[in-house]
Structure 1
Amino acid sequence: MSLVIPLPRHELTDEAPASPPVHHTVESLAQSLAATAVERDRAGGHAAHERELIRASGLLTLTIPKAHGGQGADWATMYQALRRLAEVDSALAHLFGFHHLQLAGVRLYGTPDQQSRLLRDTVTQRWFWGNALNPLDKRLRATEVNGGYLLHGTKSFASGSVGSDQLTVSAWHEPTQSLLIGAVPTRRDGVSVQADWDAFGQKQTDSGNVDFHEVLIGHHEVLQAPGTTPTPKATLRSQVAQLVLVNLYLGIGLGAFHEARRYTREEAKPWFASGVTHSSDDPFVQQRYAELWLRLRPAIALADTAAALLDQAFRRGDEVTARDRGEVAIAVAEAKVLAHRAGVEVSSQLFELTGARSTSARYGLDRFWRNVRVHTLHDPIDYKLRDIGRHVLTGAWPEPTAYS
């Protein structure tokens, strides 16, 4: 009996169920990415063709509200799509998820006019968004000038920047000791994207540095001005981001599990002392697969719960309270811890079940561990555990930051 994780058909609007084409489109794209995933993981670099496959799929408009010309999908639908793509290619899934994260920033920070302009242009001009919003990197400075701000400096870990059309960017404003957040075209004069990402995993996430040399960002492009106190609604962006990571880790874990299971069924040789003809009949192998599945299953359940709570908060709009936000943050933290552990453990332990022959480079099974090991270093789960433990003991909600 096979374990199948279907793509649930969540709502495309607040009222209507998702139509089957979303599921079919995601599956078709996943199969296209899977065909070259192992080879591209070895090669690294910029996956220009595969990015165009994502663009051509129409899925870049998935979370854009119908009022702005998009498909109006909820976050649960997007995360299910992201998870499925991550099963076969977590680097390209990363780009897909971070694109929608930038759109979430426009919806959470932007004025109605900014949302209308940027979201509609994303649909009509088929924009692919990149991220230059690393909040811990304060080397990019914003200086106020007539009509806006000048940006000068560098941003690191700029996922999806290579080949992007638009960037969400944060810059440090010294007078107010706070961040400016805005949106600028990637090809604007003074913006220089460096294709210098060289980690041993997530090789095709285009996550290098972006240099800004006296780049003008107009007031109309500033989504959050320096010195602004974010509302509970605005602070949901970090939860959107964290759930992107959760579902990337889960997708990698599921991809590793499914590939290991296929190998065990079709190619693995049973251990001589097992007394069985097929490795899949070895009770010790069966027990270990059960243990790995029980790492994944609760993480999936908590991830789906967190996505549902995030959708509820989005529907509340400006009425989101600190408590609403806190409930989402705790649910996301719980899912993050379990997804982190599941992804790392499944992608590592699979080799103990598949054996020495499975380490051949032609299978590329090591990519799952490399990818999840690199990505789970994004921010420490120790602080998620702290937030959960503090809430359990004192009832305190996580302090809103760019990571919690």
Structure 2
Amino acid sequence: MTPYTHPPVLFGRSADDAPLWARLDRLCDALAATAAERDQAGGHAAAERELIRASGLLNLTTPRALGGEEVNWQTFYRTLRQVAEVDSALAHLYAFHHLQVITIRLFGTPAQQARLLSDTGSRGLFWGNALNPSDRRTIATPVEGGYRIDGPKSYCSGSVGSDRMTVSAWHEPSQSFLIGVVDTRAAGVTVVADWNAFGQKQTDSGTVHFDRVIIPDDDVLIAPGQPATPWTTLRAQFAQHVLGSLYVGLATGALRAGLAYTRERTRAWAASGVARAVDDPYTQLRYADLWLLVRTAAVLSDAASARLDEAFGQGHALQAAQRGEVAVAVAEAKIAAHRAAMAVSSGFFEQTGAGATSQTLALDRFWRNARVHTLHDPIDYKLRDIGRYVLEGRYPEPTSYS
């Protein structure tokens, strides 16, 4: 098959960032070489995690003052899309590491940020996530000097093999979550590698059990009952745009795989009257349709990233209306990306022929990964939010998903 190359037609690359893109290309080449084999094997991609760590890309979103590269959000999300083209499961790990860094930048005090992020780059720490807001089984109980947390937390992306995690625990008296930081290897923390979906097999999204784990006050990012602000609720938008950007990458990777197969292997249909499959007008038409889905999703993804850059630049002065505009842009991008990922990852097979279904190629991984990942939260509620916005000018209500 055609070797991996970046897609310059989907976005430009600044010459100033050439070293970054070179690092990213090397990483993607390495991941692409084993992606099909690892998809079939599943399990924990320990060696590939180390490739990501060695690339230095875990430090992209850490502030410069703390030893990081602090790229803008449009650049970060473009790197995510490119990793997702070749391996959407490891792109998920990569993205959720950065989502936890973003969480600390949004929720943490300057002292907490300095303490928790300054060694992320210098030690190459990999952050995982135990913050699933739909699971309230992890309970927070006040104790002297902090909180004790007990119980399981499901769908903990990147937890297996992580160094640190952000965690949410339900505080019954205030009917709200505590959000804090734990060391993955701390006493009482047990990570179970029980993720067994038919796609996104190597996201290390296990269940984490907490048994009398103490989170000291210094490691509490959001205390129970602490009121939300437009700034802190940006976290949901960063998380949603992680998903949408990953879907764009998946769609792009599926399109690339289909195009390569059609160019190199597909035989022209007997009734087409052409010698090559690429000269069949129906093949050209179908690929044009798929391309437009991907192109639209990529453009909307960049637009949402630009909105996030603008909003993040406001800091704590961010207003609710500005946050609302971000939520609309992110919802638009995610809907388009969802549709592109599902349509392209299935549709390209109609242009390749039966040979492309060989298990050796594992081209079905694009559809399986897209199908699993797009079930994260219902697209219908994003459509509802957009409908309310265009009909009445209502912004999406800030929640953990909107």
TM-score (normalizing by structure 2): 0.97
Where 2:348 maps in the other structure, the secondary structure is helix
What is residue 57 of structure 1 aligned with on the other side? 55
What residue number does 2:222 align with? 224
**Which residue is equivalent to 2:399?**
401
What is the deviation of 1:82?
0.5
Distance in 2 between the 1:8 and 1:116 partners? 33
- SS of 2:149's equivalent in the other structure is strand
Aligned-residue offset at 1:8: 3.6
How many residue pairs match? The answer is 397
Preserved contact between residue 138 and residue 171 of structure 1 (Cα < 8 Å): yes
Shift of 1:5: 3.6
Instruction: Select the residue among 175, 181, 184 that pairs with 1:183.
Output: 181
SS of the residue 2:365 aligns to? helix
Q: What residue in structure 1 maps to residue 149 of structure 2?
A: 151
When the two chains are superposed, the root-mean-square deviation of aligned CA atoms in Å is 1.2
**Aligned letter for 1:255?**
G
The 8 Å contact of residues 8 and 80 in structure 1, kept in 2 or not, is answered as: no
Q: Which residue of 1 aligns with 2:90?
A: 92
Query: Could you say which residue in structure 2 is the equivalent of 1:365?
Result: 363
Structure 1's 4 and 121: CA in aligned 2 closer, same or farther, altered over 3 A? Answer: closer
| Cα pair distance change 1:122/1:195, threshold 3 Å | same
Give the counterpart letter for 1:103 in structure 2.
V
Kindly state the Cα deviation for residue 124 of structure 1 after the two structures are TM-superposed.
Answer: 1.9
Q: CA deviation at 1:135?
A: 0.3
Contact 2:148/2:214 (CA < 8 Å) preserved in 1? Answer: yes
Task: Among all aligned residue pairs of Structure 1 and Structure 2, give the percentage whose two residues are the same amino acid.
Answer: 60
**Cα shift at 1:397:** 0.8
Cα distance in structure 1, aligned partners of 2:254 and 2:142: 49
Deviation of the 1:275 alpha carbon: 1.0
Q: Counterparts in 2 of 1:101-250, with a 5 A limit?
A: 101-250=99-248
Of 387, 390, 393, the residue aligned with 1:389 is 387
TM-aligned CA deviation for residue 9 of structure 1: 3.9
SS at match of 1:151: strand
Kept after mapping to 2: 8 A contact 1:263/1:354: yes
State the match for 2:372 in structure 1: 374
1:182–1:224 Cα contact (<8 Å) kept: yes
CA distance in 1, matches of 2:370, 2:91: 12
Distance in 2 separating the partners of 1:321 and 1:267:
54
Structure 2 SS opposite 1:216? strand
Call closer, same or farther: CA 1:386–1:6 in 2, change over 3 Å. Answer: closer
The normalised TM-score by structure 1 is: 0.97
Per-residue CA deviation, residues 354-373 of structure 1 (Å, 9 max, x unaligned), is: 01111001111100000000
Alpha-carbon separation, structure 2, partners of 1:391 and 1:227: 29
Counterpart AA for 2:215: I
**1:156 to 1:390, Cα distance in 2 relative to 1, 3 A:** same
* Selected match of 1:81 from 61, 79, 84: 79
Q: Distance in 1 between matches of 2:394 and 2:156?
A: 32
Tell me the CA shift for residue 264 of structure 1.
0.3
Letter matched to residue 343 of structure 1:
A
DSSP-derived class of the 2:156 partner: coil
**Residues 121-155 of structure 1: CA distance to partner in whole angstroms, max 9, x if unpaired?**
21222110000000010000000000100010010
Q: How many Å separate the matches in 2 of 1:163 and 1:143?
A: 27
Deviations 1:98-132 (A, max 9, x none): 10000000000000100111110212221100000
CA distance in 2, matches of 1:214, 1:107: 27
Contact 1:153 1:213 in 2 (8 A): yes
| Deviation at residue 18 of structure 1 after TM alignment | 4.6
Please tell me whether the aligned partners of residues 10 and 295 of structure 2 are also in contact (alpha carbons under 8 angstroms).
no
Rounded to whole Å, the distance in 2 between the matches of 1:224 and 1:343 is: 35
- Secondary structure (helix, strand or coil) at the match of 1:183 reads strand
User: What is the SS of the residue equivalent to 1:397?
Assistant: coil
Q: What is residue 13 of structure 1 aligned with on the other side?
A: none
The answer to whether the Cα contact below 8 Å between 2:297 and 2:337 also exists between their aligned partners in 1 is: yes
Residues 1:380 and 1:188: Cα distance change in structure 2 (over 3 Å): same
- What is the distance in 2 between the residues matched to 1:185 and 1:77? 29
Correspondence for 1:356 among 339, 354, 366:
354
Answer yes or no: is the 8 Å Cα contact 1:7–1:81 preserved in 2: no
